[in-house]
Amino acid sequence: MFHLFTHNDLDGVGCGILAKIAFKDQVRVRYNSVSGLDFQIERFLERAKNDDFIIVTDLSVNELNTERINEYYKKTGKAKLIDHHKTALHFNDYEWGSVKVEYEDGRLTAATSLFYEYLVANGQLEPCKALEEFVELVRLYDTWEWEKNNNETAKRLNDLFFMISIEDFEERMAERLQQSDSFSFDEFETKILDMEENKIERYVRRKRREMVQTFIDSKCVGIVHAESYHSELGNELGKENPHIDYIAIMNVGGKKISLRTIHDHIDVSEVAGQFGGGGHAKASGCPLTDNAYQLFVVETFRIEPMKPDAFRNQYNLKGSERGCFYENHFEDQFFVYQVAENKWCIDRNDKMIEQTFTTFDEAEYFLKRNHSAWLARDEHYVDYLSQTLIQSIKKEQVNDQYGTATENDTSFVSYEPAIHPSEQGDRPFSH
């Protein structure tokens, strides 16, 4: 008898489906959460008979169970662990461990694709096109490559997985993969998937208004509380806020945090690791420990959510050479403008910030990261401009009264302009 212990996500269940197609009624599949696995393995090994073949996919076991499996393998030769997480690479030290993160051509692996190749290589599974398509969809989804390749089918396969029970999903897929020449959704599945897509869109729209921004361990984090649709949320919020290093999705009830990033230079599995979790560079998770609760929940509770950039503006437009206007919850006013080619400046509350930027995007990145600012609506922009205009008229009147200062004009020395120096000179719109 084969005994498969695998993850309870799409990639893990993909392995379960392959095992059932390969071994039919000669396999028992158990789906586990990351934290639930070790207990199951321990209990199983206590009772295992020597003809039981234990396979673990898409999950890691702890040190004690590693020893137990190793002992069992020495005795029976019947154990295998197949995984694709880089946190599991140490299992390659064992004859029964097979961990591979990347294919030779640079594509990332998934447990389902590795397990498929293993079964085919052992002659336990007959390769076919429908199976290959299914395995590739699971791999694309699990590695996030679906995003880059814009593969909606992979995303929809995962959506379907979450909409129906694991048993129902297993049964539907196993049947289809053995009977059809290629993989596709049936009419019923297509219909419920379309409905689900609309629902997710509405959910994400609501949640983006709840995100707060802060720095944790010198990383800029967007924090949002949500129980569902973590991938969609993490992805949308990440793309919408490229100045944020990673998105933390809090599930206080479930005592869990999901971490997502769209950036190649950030590895959220490292962040998760600090709190006893793990996962991939772009998507990982960890338990909501006391320490994490303090950092992510308590200390951020009073922060006002970020406002999305105004999107219906006609005048206050990003990157406009005449300048554009940002604001934040601290009632700071920011004016971003170009002074020369490759030189952008920011005025904060009418004082020029010392740092300059070569592009608008760079300036905006600085603003959003350090001042949690958003593009203001046209009305606020117009208010700001008219105030600045009044100030500059006042300044001209003062100048007329005192005459134009020259280097030798000592009467001018005591004069302090009512307006900060940055207000004068080459500010584009004040001419």
- Whole-number minimum distance, CB 83 to Mn ion, in Å? 8
Residue 83 as a binder of Mn ion (CB under 5 A): the answer is: no
Buried b (16+ CB within 10 A) or exposed e, 256-281: bbbbbbbeeebbbbebbeebebbbbb
Q: Tell me the C-alpha distance between 187 and 333, whole Å.
A: 53
Instruction: Tell me the three state secondary structure of residue 184.
Output: coil
Residue 271 as a binder of Mn ion (CB under 5 A): the answer is: no
- Whole-number minimum distance, CB 12 to Mn ion, in Å? 7
Nearer to Mn ion, 142 or 309 (CB): 142
Residue 118 Cα distances to 113, 115, 123, 124, 133, angstroms: 9, 5, 9, 9, 17
Nearer to Mn ion, 15 or 271 (CB): 15
User: What backbone torsions phi and psi does residue 364 show, to the nearest 5 degrees?
Assistant: -65, -40
DSSP label of 228: S
Nearer to Mn ion, 11 or 364 (CB): 11
Q: Give the binding-site size for Mn ion (rule: CB under 5 A).
A: 4
Question: Of the listed pieces 109-117, 178-186, 371-379, 396-404, which binds Mn ion according to CB under 5 A?
Answer: 109-117
Question: Of the listed pieces 29-37, 98-106, 140-148, 394-402, which binds Mn ion according to CB under 5 A?
Answer: 140-148
Nearer to Mn ion, 41 or 82 (CB): 82
Question: Of the listed pieces 26-34, 50-58, 130-138, 207-215, which binds Mn ion according to CB under 5 A?
Answer: 50-58
Gap between the terminal Cα atoms of the chain: 84
Question: Of the listed pieces 3-11, 19-27, 100-108, 396-404, which binds Mn ion according to CB under 5 A?
Answer: 3-11
Nearer to Mn ion, 85 or 427 (CB): 85
- Whole-number minimum distance, CB 322 to Mn ion, in Å? 50
Buried b (16+ CB within 10 A) or exposed e, 194-228: eebeeebeeebeebbeebbbbebeebbbbbbbbee
- Whole-number minimum distance, CB 231 to Mn ion, in Å? 13
Q: In what order do the strands lie in the sheet with 374-375?
A: 351-352, 343-348, 333-340, 324-327, 374-375
Residue 111 as a binder of Mn ion (CB under 5 A): the answer is: yes
Instruction: Tell me the three state secondary structure of residue 309.
Output: coil
- Whole-number minimum distance, CB 99 to Mn ion, in Å? 12
- Binding to Mn ion (CB under 5 A): which residues in 194-233? none
Question: Of the listed pieces 111-119, 159-167, 209-217, 375-383, which binds Mn ion according to CB under 5 A?
Answer: 111-119
Nearer to Mn ion, 8 or 65 (CB): 8
Query: What's the sign of the alpha-carbon dihedral 187, 192, 194, 197?
Result: negative
Task: Identify the residue among 3, 10, 11, 334 touching Mn ion (CB under 5 A).
Answer: 11
Residue 142 as a binder of Mn ion (CB under 5 A): the answer is: yes
> ∠ CA(189), CA(193), CA(194), 5° rounding?
120
Task: Identify the residue among 58, 136, 245, 267 touching Mn ion (CB under 5 A).
Answer: 58
Q: Tell me the C-alpha distance between 151 and 109, whole Å.
A: 16
Nearer to Mn ion, 111 or 216 (CB): 111
Q: Tell me the C-alpha distance between 172 and 181, whole Å.
A: 15
Nearer to Mn ion, 143 or 328 (CB): 143
What would the DSSP string read from start to end of 64-98?
HHHHHHHHHHHHHS-EEEEE--GGGGGGGGSTTEE
Residues near Mn ion (CB under 5 A): 11, 58, 111, 142
